[in-house]
Amino acid sequence: MPKDALKEIIARKKERIALARQVLPEEELKMRLQGLPATRPFIEAIVKPRQISLIAEIKKASPSEGLIREAFNPQEIAAVYQEAGVQAISVLTEEDYFQGSIQYLTEVKSCTTVPVLRKDFILEPYQVYESRAYGADAILLIADILTKDTIEQCIGIARPLGMECLVEVHTEKELKKVLSMKAVTLIGINNRDLHTLEVDFKTTEKLFTLVPKDKTVVVESGIRSSQDVLFLKILGVSAVLIGTAFMKESDIRSKVEEVMGW
| Residues with catalytic roles | 57, 59, 119, 168, 190, 220-221
Three-class secondary structure assignment of 109-163: HHCCCCCEEEECCCCCHHHHHHHHHCCCCEEEEEHHHCCHHHHHHHHHHHHHHCC
Q: Give yes or no for a contact between 189 and 169, defined as CB atoms under 8 angstroms apart.
A: yes
Could you give the CA distance from residue 181 to residue 178 in angstroms, rounded to a whole number?
A: 6
Residue partners of 128: CB distance under 8 A and separation at least 6:
122, 139, 154, 157, 158, 161, 163
Determine phi and psi for 89, rounding to 5 degrees.
-125, 135
